[in-house]
Amino acid sequence: MRFLHISDTHLGYNQYSLPERGKDFFDVFKEAIETAIDENVDFVIHSGDFFHSSKPSNEAILEGIEILKLLKDKNIPFYLIAGNHDRGNLTKEKSPVEILKHFGANLIENMDIYEFNGVKITGLKYISRAYLREVNSLREIIENRISDKLKDDTFNIILLHQEFNDLFPDSKLSLNNEIPARVFNYIGVGHYHALKQPRFDKNINATIFYPGATEFTDINEKEDITERYIYIFDINSDKTLNYKEFKLKKNRPVIRFELKEEYLENQLKELKNLLDQDFEKKPLLQIKITLEDLSKEDIVSLLEKEGIKEKVLTERFSLIRKQKDLGLEENAFSFNAEENIIIEETINRLITDKELQNKIIKTINEIKTFENIEEIKAYLNSHTEIFEI
C-alpha cells in the first residue's frame, strides 16, 4: 500500500498581492498530485490548510477542484482535515473544504474513520486554544471518539493540524501526552511549514511526519530552507514504512541576500551575477541590510540601476537603521528600539497567553516589512487566523 502525504498547500494565496504568487501555489500542488499519480499511489492524505482562507475566491475553489479531479479520474482517494486557515467559523459558516466532498474528497472532521484496503484514516480539524482550554486536552477528544474502532489488524493513520511543543516551544501540547500509545501507526501533522524528516517515536510506537508547506509562505527563519520536497510512503506487511523523497520543481526560488553599506558596490555585482542563473521563474528577493548613510529609496534606485529589479518578481527588505550618534541599531520601518520594547512590554502586560503574545509580536514584525497600507490590508485579510483567541 502506497500513499502521499502533503500539507499546507494554501491554495488561493496571492502573496504580496501578486497573482503570480497565487499561481505558484497551484503549480506545486498540481506537481505533487501528478507525481503521486506517476508513482501509482493508492491514496493521498492532506493535513490541513488546503486553502489559504476560510473564504477562498471562486477561482481558487474551481482550480483546486480541477486538480483533485486528476485523482478522481484515476480512482485515487483523497483524505483531508481542515487547518486553521480554512476551517471556517464554528458558529457562522462551514469550512470551504466541505465543498470538496462533492467532488470526491473525503473530509475528516471529528475523528471520522475511513477505511481503505486495510488502512484506517482518521483525524481532527484544527482546534483553537480557546476550545482546548474547555476540553482540557486533545487526548480526551481522541480517546472519546475512537473508542475501540481502531483494531490492531489495520494500519491506523491520524491527521492533525496543531502546534506541538516539539516544534512550537511555547505550546502546551505534547505529542507524547496527547496521542494514545500503540493505537496509531502513522501521525501526520500539518501547521509547521518547514519539512521535518519522518521519525519513529518509541513511546507512541508510531511514525511522525511533518511534510511542511508545499510553497514558501512567510519571511521567517523556520522557512529558511526554500527547497521543497514531498514524500511517498510504502506500508510494509509488518506495518513498518519505507519512503521516497521527491523534490518539487515548480516552486518559485527565494534568494536571501545580506548587504552592507561599506561593500555595497561589490555585493550588488555579486547579487546580479547570482540572479543571472537560468531560473524557470523569477525569484523572490529578500534583502537584509543595515543602513547608516543611505535610505531605502537609495537602495531601490541602486537595484534599478544595476538591472536587479527586472530579474526578480519582487524584492522585500529587512532594514536596520544604525544611528551614528547613539551607536544603536533600530528597525528602519516603523518603530525605534525603545518603542519596540514598550510595545512588547504592553502586549505582555495586557495578554497573559504566551502563545498569543508571540503571535501578535510576530504579526507586527511581519507587517513592518510591507511597502504600503494596501499590502498590510491584503495580509490581514488573508490571515484571519491572526484574530483567533
Query: Residue 224, CB half-sphere, CA atoms under 13 Å: how many?
Result: 3
Please tell me whether residues 189 and 318 are part of one structural domain.
Answer: no
Please tell me whether residues 238 and 273 are part of one structural domain.
Answer: no
In the listed set 181, 216, 247, which residue is the last one of a domain according to the structure?
247
Confidence category of residue 12, pLDDT binned at 50, 70, 90:
very high
In the listed set 247, 272, 307, which residue is the last one of a domain according to the structure?
247
Please tell me whether residues 261 and 173 are part of one structural domain.
Answer: no
Task: Give the number of other CB atoms < 10 A from CB of residue 145.
Answer: 14
Which whole number is the average pLDDT over 76-80?
Answer: 97
Please tell me whether residues 313 and 220 are part of one structural domain.
Answer: no
Q: Look at residue 23 and give its three-state secondary structure.
A: helix
Please tell me whether residues 183 and 52 are part of one structural domain.
Answer: yes
Please tell me whether residues 83 and 214 are part of one structural domain.
Answer: yes
- pTM score: 0.83
Give the whole-number percent of the chain exceeding pLDDT 70.
80
**What CA–CA distance (Å, rounded) separates 5 from 185?**
14
Read off the C-alpha cell for 266. Answer: 561589490
Please tell me whether residues 223 and 263 are part of one structural domain.
Answer: no
Please tell me whether residues 86 and 169 are part of one structural domain.
Answer: yes
**What CA–CA distance (Å, rounded) separates 33 from 71?**
7
Identify the domain containing residue 47 by its residue range.
2-247
**What CA–CA distance (Å, rounded) separates 327 from 308?**
31
Number of domains comprising the chain: 2
Say yes or no to pLDDT of 218 above 70.
Answer: yes
Please tell me whether residues 269 and 352 are part of one structural domain.
Answer: yes
Read off the C-alpha cell for 320. Answer: 536596520
State the Cα angle at 6 between 5 and 8, rounded to 5°: 150
Please tell me whether residues 13 and 147 are part of one structural domain.
Answer: yes
Single-letter residue type at 354:
K
Q: Look at residue 28 and give its three-state secondary structure.
A: helix
Please tell me whether residues 218 and 322 are part of one structural domain.
Answer: no
Q: What is the DSSP string of 83-144?
A: -TTTS--TTT---GGGGGGGGTEEE--BS--EEETTEEEEEB----HHHHHHH--HHHHHHH
82-115 tens-digit pLDDT: 999 887 655 456 788 889 988 889 999 888 999 9
Is 185 exposed, middle or buried, given 0-12, 13-18 or 19+ CB atoms closer than 10 A? buried
Please tell me whether residues 98 and 204 are part of one structural domain.
Answer: yes
Which neighbouring-strand residues pair with 322? 329
In the listed set 227, 247, 267, which residue is the last one of a domain according to the structure?
247
Domain of residue 240, CATH code: 3.60.21.10
114-163 tens-digit pLDDT: 999 999 999 999 988 777 777 768 888 888 888 667 777 899 999 999 98
Q: What is the pLDDT of residue 57?
A: 93
